[in-house]
C-alpha cells in the first residue's frame, strides 16, 4: 500500500457519462481527497496512468453472510477485500445478520451502506438470515432496522409458499404500506427481494423505493415502476443460478421449479424492457449468500448482454449508482476512491474485470 503524500492520476479521468464534458486529463489526491488543481510544491508524488473511474458500486451484496447465515469477522474481512480488489469500493449491503460496523474503522476496506437485517415472513426465507415475523409486527421491525441501518431497510417481498408450492407475496397491502411510510418518516428508503410477478404492484403502490432482482416485471408493471421512479437491481449473475435451483427443488415443488425456469428464460428481455421504459437500473451481484464476492465486473457485462448500452451499464456501477446512493464520484474534495484500467472501459466493459490499480482514500491498494 502506497502512503505517498500526493497521488497523480493522468491519462483519461472519466468524471461522468457525458462524452463531451465527462473526461478530464488528470487529477490529484492530496490527504486522501480529490483535487483538479495541481498542488504547489508537492514532493513525493506517485503517478498512475490509465483510464480512471470512480470506485465501482455493488448495490446488492452481503458482507458478513454466507449460505448458512452470519460469518466470523475473518470471513467478512475476506469478503470485503475480495470486493475491494475487484474495484468495488462502495457496497450497499442488502441485508445481513452480522454487525460489520468495525469495517468503517478500516481505511483499507470499502465503504458500506447497510440495510440492516432482512425482514421476512415466518418460515418464508433462508434459515438464519432474517427477522422472521408476522404482519402485525412489520411496522415495529421496519422502524428498528431503519434506525440501525444506513438509510435503507430490506424486506423479503415474496418467497416460496409451501402450501401452494410456488412463489407468493409475503405481506398484506395495508401492513406493508404502513411499514414503508414509517421507514420514510425515519428517513430510510425501503427495498425488497422479489422474484415473482404478484408481489410487485402492491409494493410499488405502497411507496417502495427499489426492488431487488425484479424478475417478475411484466408489461403491466413496468409502466408503474417507471411512473413512480422505482429502481431495480437485477443481480443477473445470481439469476443465472435459477435453473440449478429449479432442478434441486423440482421433486418437491414442481410448480415453483417451472416458474423459476420461466423467470430465468426471460431475464434479459425483462431487464432490457425495464431500461427502455426509463426505470433506473443499478449493478448488484447478490454476493455473500451462495455467490462469491468480486463479481461486479461480470454483472456489468451481464447488463450489456441484456441489451443496455455499454455506457449505461457502466454508469449503473459508477456515476449514476453513486448519485442514487448519495455518494460522490470523481469530484473536487471527494474521497479519492478510484479504479484505473489499461484501456477504455466505455469501449469494452469486460476490462472492469482486470483493474490496473485500485486506489482507496488516496492510497494505492493494488
Condensed to tens digits (0 to 9), the pLDDT of residues 170-186 reads 999 999 999 999 999 99
Q: What distance in Å separates the CA atoms of residue 175 and residue 139, rounded to the nearest whole number?
A: 7
Inter-residue contact 285 to 61 (CB < 8 Å): yes
Q: What distance in Å separates the CA atoms of residue 339 and residue 56, rounded to the nearest whole number?
A: 8
Q: What distance in Å separates the CA atoms of residue 78 and residue 101, rounded to the nearest whole number?
A: 15
Q: What is the pLDDT of residues 63-121, one digit of tens each?
A: 999 999 999 999 999 999 999 999 999 999 999 999 999 999 999 999 999 999 999 99
pLDDT attached to residue 1: 36
Residue given cell 409502466 in the structure block: 223
Segment 274-298 mean pLDDT: 97
DSSP calls for 39-105: PTT--SEEEEEEEEEEPEEEEEE-TTEETTEE--HHHHHHHHHHHHHTTEEEEEE---SS--GGGGG
Contacts with 252 (C-beta within 8 Å, 6 or more apart), sequence order: 165
pLDDT attached to residue 187: 98
- pTM for the whole thing? 0.96
User: What nine digits make up the cell of 158?
Assistant: 415474496
Segment 17-26 mean pLDDT: 88
pLDDT attached to residue 43: 79
Cα atoms in the Cβ-side hemisphere of radius 13 Å centred on 219: 0
Inter-residue contact 96 to 70 (CB < 8 Å): yes
pLDDT confidence of 3, banded at 50, 70, 90? Answer: very low
Amino acid at each position: 500500500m502506497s502512503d505517498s503524500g500526493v497521488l497523480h492520476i493522468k491519462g483519461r479521468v472519466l468524471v461522468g457519462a457525458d462524452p463531451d464534458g465527462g473526461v478530464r486529463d488528470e487529477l490529484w489526491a492530496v490527504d486522501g481527497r480529490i483535487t483538479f488543481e495541481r498542488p504547489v510544491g508537492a514532493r513525493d508524488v506517485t503517478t498512475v496512468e490509465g483510464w480512471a473511474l470512480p470506485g465501482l458500486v455493488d448495490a446488492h451484496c452481503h458482507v458478513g453472510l454466507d449460505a448458512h447465515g452470519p460469518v466470523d469477522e475473518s470471513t467478512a474481512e475476506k469478503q470485503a477485500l475480495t470486493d475491494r480488489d475487484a474495484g468495488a469500493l462502495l457496497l450497499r449491503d442488502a441485508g445481513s445478520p452480522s454487525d460489520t460496523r468495525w469495517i468503517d474503522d478500516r481505511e483499507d476496506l470499502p465503504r458500506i451502506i447497510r440495510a440492516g437485517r432482512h425482514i421476512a415472513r415466518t418460515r418464508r426465507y433462508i434459515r438464519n438470515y432474517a427477522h422472521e415475523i408476522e404482519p402485525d409486527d412489520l411496522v415495529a421491525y421496519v422502524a428498528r432496522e431503519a434506525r440501525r441501518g444506513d438509510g435503507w431497510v430490506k424486506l423479503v417481498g415474496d418467497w416460496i409458499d409451501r402450501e401452494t408450492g410456488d412463489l407468493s407475496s409475503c405481506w398484506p397491502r395495508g401492513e406493508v404500506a404502513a411499514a414503508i411510510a414509517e421507514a420514510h418518516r425515519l428517513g430510510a428508503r425501503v427495498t425488497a427481494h422479489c422474484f415473482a410477478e404478484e408481489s410487485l404492484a402492491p409494493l410499488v403502490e405502497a411507496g417502495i423505493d427499489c426492488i431487488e432482482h425484479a424478475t417478475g416485471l411484466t408489461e403491466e408493471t413496468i409502466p408503474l415502476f417507471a411512473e413512480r421512479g422505482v429502481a431495480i437491481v437485477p443481480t443477473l449473475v445470481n439469476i443465472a443460478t435459477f435453473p440449478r435451483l429449479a432442478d434441486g427443488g423440482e421433486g418437491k415443488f414442481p410448480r415453483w421449479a417451472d416458474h423459476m425456469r420461466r423467470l430465468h428464460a426471460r431475464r434479459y428481455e425483462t431487464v432490457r424492457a425495464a431500461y427502455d421504459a426509463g426505470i433506473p437500473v443499478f449493478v448488484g451481484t447478490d454476493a455473500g449468500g451462495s455467490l462469491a464476492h468480486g463479481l461486479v465486473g461480470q454483472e456489468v457485462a451481464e447488463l450489456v448482454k441484456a441489451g443496455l448500452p455499454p455506457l449505461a451499464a457502466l454508469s449503473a456501477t459508477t456515476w449514476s449508482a453513486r448519485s442514487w446512493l448519495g455518494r460522490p464520484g470523481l469530484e473536487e474534495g471527494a474521497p479519492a476512491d478510484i479504479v484505473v484500467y489499461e484501456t477504455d472501459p466505455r469501449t469494452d466493459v469486460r476490462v472492469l474485470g482486470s483493474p490496473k490499480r485500485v486506489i482507496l482514500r488516496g492510497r494505492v491498494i493494488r
